[in-house]
Amino acid sequence: MSEDYRSYEAALARLESPLREVVETQRSIRRLLPDPVDDRIVLRLIELATKAPTGSNAQNWEFVLVKERRAKEKLKELYSRAWLLYGSAGRRVRRDERTRRIMKAVEYQIEHFEQTPVIVVPCLRGWRLPFFLPQPSLAYSTYYGSIYPAVQNFLLGARAVGLGAGLVTLPLWNKWAVKRLLRLPLSVEPVCLIPVGWPKGRYGPTTRRAVEEVVHVDRYGNKAFRR
């Protein structure tokens, strides 16, 4: 991959890519090069992320960029611990080739996590009820509905400029450790991690279930469009 391709100017020019092409070829990229990513590209992608809607237009997002190697190593440790449990369970339950490829990619990501050029941590600012109090589903939907549209904007933008990225949540099994590491106030919650870098692999094309299989009309199970 040439230096010209990675330049700020070239990356921004690729934001003109057709939306259909970007959406249809988006996937998680877990194998990343350690080469640096221009801060201006990441900031532009976060600017695009903030164009997403939030509940009551609160715009209550915050984004932490993790660039320090020591902090990445701490996140890697949290990621590794969670994977010991999750990965071993996955091997016992699912043994198909597709799952094995995904697990190998995750293991590669964990092994090289501290080499990731930048890890973007989207956060939400605002109080929620304490975790030990019952909360209606609406509370969760409203809360996370104010950040995940922004996350998707970021991921689509990363795809457009040619960066590799993907949403990661396993390191947040110990949310308080992450909050301490990033010095987040009590009122700011980390929601996910997005490792970002120039990809070793390629985006798309992707394989997904047919739309007729996932659409239900009026009630669940009425797949009226299935052939």
Task: Tell me the one-letter amino acid at 202.
Answer: R
Q: How far is CA 82 from the centre of its chain?
A: 17
Query: Chain-centre distance of CA 57, in angstroms?
Result: 22
pLDDT number for residue 116: 98
> How many angstroms separate the CA atoms of 208 and 94, rounded?
18
Q: Residue 55 corresponds to which tokens in the numbers above?
A: 């509940």
> What pLDDT sits at residue 140?
79
The pLDDT, as a whole number, for residue 151 is 98
Tell me which residues of the chain have a pLDDT lower than 70: 1, 88-95, 127-135
Count CB-CB contacts under 10 A for residue 148: 14
Backbone φ, ψ for residue 222 (5° rounding): -90, 85
User: What is the pLDDT, as a whole number, of residue 94?
Assistant: 63
pLDDT of residue 197: 98
